[in-house]
Amino acid sequence: MKIVVTGGAGFIGSNFVHFQVEHHPEDQIVVLDKLTYAGNLPNIQTLIDDGKIRFVQGDIADYDFVEQFFATEKPDAVINFAAETHVDRSILEPDIFVKTNIVGTHNLLMASRAHGVKRFHQVSTDEVYGDLGDGSSDLFTEETPFAPNCPYAAAKAAADMLIRAYVQTYRFPATVSHCSNNYGPYQFTEKLIPYFFRAASEGNPLPIYGDGKNVRDWLYVTDHCRALDMILRSEKIGEVYNIGGNTERNNLQIAELILNFLGKDPQMIRFVEDRQAHDRRYAIDASKIRRELGWEPQVKFEDGIKMTFQWYHDHQDWVKATEDRLLNFIKEKQP
């Protein structure tokens, strides 16, 4: 099978590429990535150098490029990780999120349909469901209505609805998954865990929005990749699956874990003004994918978080290089 992995140089995408090469070496993998500030070619460079995958740089928001790419590659399957994902940035620059997450996804759908793609999977987020709120014991199911509260989540929800429309209107062979917060190797340094880990390692304060009690469900990235692989290779068409780790932790608890791992003073935590549209709690009901595909998370949070901390500790050159890229991106944005 020939699989196009869009956004395959990013965090989850690159982990998925490594997973595919390890578990399905018979398949052809073509990574398509724009290499924005968060797309990191070193994440997959060894696989490129060894000839195990091919890489093409390009923008899914450019339909002429996408059309030519599909005409040349003729993939059997497409899995779409390509997206702008940072919530804070979506509040500052929502137009970029609309362009990539909505227009880009639709370009992929049009080209996939035109060129006979047999399977298309959209990697989405639990943020499309909105906020469960304080004190709730509810969980997001696949039937939970969409209620996005930030531009990032709204753009992902819109893309999900386009895919639903293509399935219903054209019987297009697509599926969608909504995952909870991922953690693990190769996560870009602007995200919570690597950002806090870097700050604490350098002796800098850890800024926590509000009271730090915003709760997220945490999922080790390899468990997510295994779930995606099972969906992509299943005979299910038009289905939506929630993928979660059944591990709820708030931001303050994550910060404390990092400080404890590094032997740092808990007083390094600094509470700062809360961000706009900061949802209080997300939690996933993953019973459908367990029931239909037999998926279960295999990595316990206590083990996964230690492996993650150790990976960042052992890959300081990677951390420094990605931090420099982020700083350069921020400088370019300044007037």
What angle do helix axes 63-73 and 105-114 make, rounded to 10 degrees?
Answer: 40
Known catalytic membership, residue 152: yes
Distances (CA, A) of 227 to 186, 230, 240, 248, 263: 19, 5, 12, 19, 34
Give the sign of the dihedral formed by CA 331, CA 58, CA 188, CA 124. positive
Distance between CA atoms of 94 and 280, rounded to whole angstroms? 21
DSSP 230-254: HHHTSS--S-EEEE--S-EEEHHHH
**Per the residue annotation, which of 59, 126, 223, 229 is the catalytic one?**
126
**Per the residue annotation, which of 59, 73, 84, 127 is the catalytic one?**
127
Dig out the tokens for 144 from the structure. 């939970």
**Per the residue annotation, which of 129, 152, 166, 186 is the catalytic one?**
152
Dig out the tokens for 151 from the structure. 């531009």
β-strands 215-220, 181-183: how paired?
A: parallel
Residue with tokens 């490129």: 48
Query: Which stretches does DSSP call E strand in the chain?
Result: 2-6, 28-33, 54-57, 77-80, 119-125, 174-179, 181-183, 206-209, 215-220, 240-243, 248-250, 269-272
Q: Any idea which residues carry the catalytic annotation?
A: 126-127, 152
